[in-house]
Each structure stands twice: as structure tokens, then as C-alpha cells.
Structure 1
Amino acid sequence: MTRSIRLIADDYGLAPGVSGAILDLIARGRLTGTSCMTGLPEWEEAAARIRPFCRRAAVGLHLTLTDQIAATGSSSLAPEGKLPGLAALALPVRRGRIDERDIHAELDAQYDRFTEALAGPPDHIDGHQHVHFLPAVRNWLLARFGAAAHKPALRGAPGLPGLDPAAAKIAAIATLAAGFNSAMRRAGFSVMTPLSGIYDWRQPEKFASTLRGAVDTLPEQGLFMCHPGHLDDILRARDPMHGAREVEFTVLSSEDFGASLDKAGARVMDGRA
């Protein structure tokens, strides 16, 4: 029996090279779908490019509260119109230095930009740098969708790290996500879990073994996140991990990856399944 696993590429819309690489992999059947960053100036163009793929791929919203341009301009969240770094975000939110209403306004704007451009709601929601696990974002999810008959699926927490080489990173994300799966399921959301695909992107050569491990062990309908892309000037200016993106694209598009799926009795889940 063939085991189905989800492969979701983050950061669609971050730069033309990222969007193009993701669409290429969707067309090859190497991705279940992608998650979109909608707050950037090129979103309308990126949305037009992905629109023809919406019937064959899972297209979701990648909530973004760090490092990029704020869709809502200046606020307590983005005093100069740019979202803070992750380290600067979590602690001030907990101390109340950022008005939660400004966070919710930013998330509302990103969600509305998605639905307006793609004429419908996202299939799933997750977060850039896992910000959807933050308390303020959990509150937004519950407020925005709690009473809705149709709720988007949510990306859940990673499994226990065990002896994984990225154990410390996995444990940190799991700590941030504590209680998320159970709380969101109680509220009626479908939660995609366990999350896999976590590795040290400063060592892109580790991606291939991380992917092989997921193909061999990820349970039915488990979720593997990835970040493929092609380098361009916009990506270089916006993203410090651009060196890993070409490596991820090369691995995902390779014959070796297809062979590893066959050997493990696995397949990339269809985006509309």
C-alpha cells in the first residue's frame, strides 16, 4: 500500500525566483502545494502566476510577522513599516509592548490580500518562522475562524526530536508550539502533524538526508516543509537563507528523489486530496 506524505513549500511570493521554482516543482508533481506570503509588493503578480495551479495544488497562507514589509504600514508592530526580527517579536509581545490589535490587523490584511487575489480562502495556514504558534496569532486564528463552518487546516507541531541532528532546533519549535495542536483541534481545526523538514539551513548539504529520512519514516499524511528557490536580486536582498534554496530545488527535482519515493512505497500527496 502506498503511503501519502505532504510536501509543502514555504515562502511563495517572497521573490520571483522562489515563486518560479515552486511552480516548477508543483508542475512536476514533486510538491503537494505551497504557502503564500501576501504582504510583499509583488504579490499581485505572484498570485496571477499561481492561480492556474489552485485546482491541482494546496495553496495556503504563510502568515508573516518578521523581517519583511508590513502590509499595514507603520504601527506598534512595525514602527517604520518593517516587521521586526523574530528575536525582537516574541518577548515584546509577551510584555505588551506591541499592541495585539496591530498584530491582528496585519494578519487580517495578509488574509484579505490572499482571498481577494485568489478569489477564495486558503487551503491551510502556517507561519513564517513558525509565528502561528505565538499566543497573539493563536488568538487571531480563534477569533477569525472560531465560529466559521469552514476552517483552513493548520500546520502543527514537530514530533519528538530523538537523535535527530537538528534536535535542539526541533525542541525549540516544539516548545513554541506547546499546546497548539490540542487547542486548535478542540476549536474544530484540522491540524497537519507531525511537522518534518527541520534542519540547519546554514548547512544545505543536510537537506537531502533530511528529506530521505522523512520519505522513509513520515507517517501517512505527515507534513514535510521545504524552501526551494532560484536566486535573484530580490531574494538576495530579502533572505539570508538563499544559499540553501537552490540546493533544495535540485534535490526535490532530482531522479534520486523520485527513486527514494518508489523504494519507500511513498508518494507526494495530491494537493486536492
Structure 2
Amino acid sequence: MTRPIRLIADDYGLAPGVSDAILELIERGRLTGTGCMTGFPEWEAAAARIRPFRGRAAIGLHLTLTDQIAAAGPSSLAPEGKLPGLSSLALPVRRGRIDERDVHAELDAQYGRFVEMLAGPPDYIDGHQHVHFLPMVRNWLLARFGASARKPALRGAPGLPGMDAAAPKIAAVAALAAGFNGSMRRAGFSVMTPLSGIYDWRQPEKFASTLRAAIKTLPEQGVFMCHPGHVDDILRARDPMQAVREVEYTVLSSQAFGDILDKAGVRVMDGGA
């Protein structure tokens, strides 16, 4: 009997090349699903392409509050229509200049675009740069879904493995996520945890070993996040994470990855999160 592992790709909709790579991997059974960024002009076309996979793959909402265009337009969150850098949200002294109602309006807009184009709510919710762990976003999750009988699953906090090159980054994300798992479970959400897949993406060679470690140790309730993609001009204009996406795609699509899964008695989990 094989053990399932949940592999989720972030950033579907960020750029056509990213969406292409993710769809290829879903079709090949190399991903459990993907989180969608719905604020871009290409979202309608991207949604049409992934819609047939609903029910076969876990299709989530990848909440985006940093660096990209604002789906809800200009506000205290995005004075010129562009979302701020992460420090403006993560540092309390800077976050205090942002009206929480504007954050909720932006999240409502992204959620509404998902539901409109995919004819229903997301299977799960997580956040670009882990913004779903922020207090303002926790409040939005509770306000929107707290009374709902059908809640989306949520991506939870990372575990803290033995100290390695990525350990400071893992610790930083864990600190941002402090209290998230417990509070959301008490509110009735299913939480996918521990989160795995965090490494220094400026060192692409680390991805394969990070993935192999997850195959050996990640429990069924956990999730491994990844960022496969093909680099195109739109991605170059929008995001600094570029060449490493090709590396992740190559690893995930390789025969060697399939062989590692078979040898370990592990399969990529199907369908809903």
C-alpha cells in the first residue's frame, strides 16, 4: 500500500508560462493541485484552462497582498493600484497605516473572481509570501467563512526540522504563523500541516534534496509547496523568482522523480485538499 503525499504548486495565473507548467504537471499526476492568483488580466483565460480539472485536482485560492496589481483598485493598501512589499504588511508599525477594511475588500475581490470564473469556492486557501498568516487575513477568513458549514481547507504552519541552510527562513515563517493552526481549527477549518518545501530559492540545487526529504518524512496531513514554471516575458516583468521555476519543473516532471516515489512507496495525492 502506498503512502500519499500532497504536492501543491503556488502561483497559477501569475504568468502564462507558470500556468502552462503547472497544468502539464497536473495532467501527468505529478501535482495534487495548485493555488490560483486571480488578480491579473489573464485570469479569465487561465481559469478557463484549469476549470476542467476541478474535482480531479485541488484548486485553491492563493491570496495575494504584495507587489502585484490590486484587484480592488487604489486604496490605503494600494495607493497607486499596486500592492505593497511584504514589510508593509508584516511590520506592525507600517501595517498600522493600512485600513483593514481595504485589505478585506482586496481579498473579497480576489475571492469573487475565483468563484465567478470557477463556478464555486476554492478547495483550499493559502497566501503568496504566506500572507494568510497575517492578523488582518485571519480576521477575513473568520469573517467570511466562520459561520459557513463548508469551509475551505487552509495551509498551516511549517514544521521545524533539524537546522539546515533554510532553517532561519522556516523559523521566520513559523513565527508569522504562530497560533494560526490552533485558532483556525477551533473555528472549524481543516488545516494542512506541517508545511514543507521551504528552501532558499536563490540556490535552485536545494530543491531536489528538499523534495526527497519530504517524500521520506511528510505525513499525509502535511503539504509540500512548490513553484514550477516556464519563464516568459510576463513572469520576468512580475516576479524575481524565475530560473528556479524551470529547475522545479524539470525535477517534478522527470523520470527520476517518479522512480524515487516508486522506491519510497509514495504516490502523489489526488483530488481535493
Shorter-chain TM-score bucket reads over 0.9
Q: Name 2:147's counterpart in structure 1.
A: 147
Per-residue CA deviation, residues 28-65 of structure 1 (Å, 9 max, x unaligned), is 00000000000111100100010111121000000000
Distance in 1 between residues matched to 2:97 and 2:104, nearest whole Å:
15
TM-aligned CA deviation for residue 94 of structure 1:
6.3
Per-residue CA deviation, residues 82-102 of structure 1 (Å, 9 max, x unaligned), is 000101222257652100000
Answer whether contact 1:93 1:100 (CA < 8 A) is retained.
Answer: no
Matches within 5 A, 1:118-137: 118-137=118-137
Q: Name 1:222's counterpart in structure 2.
A: 222
- Counterpart AA for 1:270: D
Per-residue CA deviation, residues 61-83 of structure 1 (Å, 9 max, x unaligned), is 00000000000111000000000
Per-residue CA deviation, residues 8-45 of structure 1 (Å, 9 max, x unaligned), is 00000000000000000000000000000001111001
Answer whether contact 2:122 2:152 (CA < 8 A) is retained.
Answer: yes
- Counterpart AA for 1:2: T
Per-residue CA deviation, residues 237-267 of structure 1 (Å, 9 max, x unaligned), is 0010111100000000001111111111111
Q: Name 2:28's counterpart in structure 1.
A: 28
Distance in 2 between residues matched to 1:138 and 1:239, nearest whole Å:
25
Seen in structure 2, the aligned counterparts of structure 1 residues 76 and 5 have a Cα distance that, compared at 3 Å, is: same
- Counterpart AA for 2:43: W
Answer whether contact 1:157 1:177 (CA < 8 A) is retained.
Answer: yes
TM-score (norm 1): 0.98
Q: Name 1:110's counterpart in structure 2.
A: 110
- Structure 2 residue runs of 5 or longer lacking an equivalent are none
Are 1:54 and 2:54 an aligned pair? yes
Q: Name 2:168's counterpart in structure 1.
A: 168
TM-score (norm 2): 0.98
Distance in 1 between residues matched to 2:189 and 2:93, nearest whole Å:
25
SS in 2 for 1:34: strand
Are 1:197 and 2:169 an aligned pair? no
Seen in structure 2, the aligned counterparts of structure 1 residues 136 and 94 have a Cα distance that, compared at 3 Å, is: farther
Q: Name 1:37's counterpart in structure 2.
A: 37
Answer whether contact 1:30 1:268 (CA < 8 A) is retained.
Answer: yes
Corresponding residue pairs, total? 273
Distance in 2 between residues matched to 1:134 and 1:225, nearest whole Å:
19
Answer whether contact 2:87 2:94 (CA < 8 A) is retained.
Answer: no
Answer whether contact 1:221 1:269 (CA < 8 A) is retained.
Answer: no
Seen in structure 2, the aligned counterparts of structure 1 residues 183 and 94 have a Cα distance that, compared at 3 Å, is: farther
- Structure 1 residue runs of 5 or longer lacking an equivalent are none
Answer whether contact 1:59 1:123 (CA < 8 A) is retained.
Answer: yes
Q: Name 2:180's counterpart in structure 1.
A: 180
Paired-residue identity, %: 84
Distance in 1 between residues matched to 2:119 and 2:63, nearest whole Å:
18
- Counterpart AA for 1:119: A
Distance in 2 between residues matched to 1:93 and 1:271, nearest whole Å:
41
Q: Name 2:242's counterpart in structure 1.
A: 242
TM-aligned CA deviation for residue 165 of structure 1:
2.5
SS in 1 for 2:234: helix
SS in 2 for 1:165: coil
Q: Name 1:66's counterpart in structure 2.
A: 66
Distance in 2 between residues matched to 1:40 and 1:92, nearest whole Å:
28
Answer whether contact 1:5 1:267 (CA < 8 A) is retained.
Answer: yes
Distance in 2 between residues matched to 1:92 and 1:194, nearest whole Å:
26
* Divergent runs of 4+, >3 A: 92-95
Q: Name 1:252's counterpart in structure 2.
A: 252
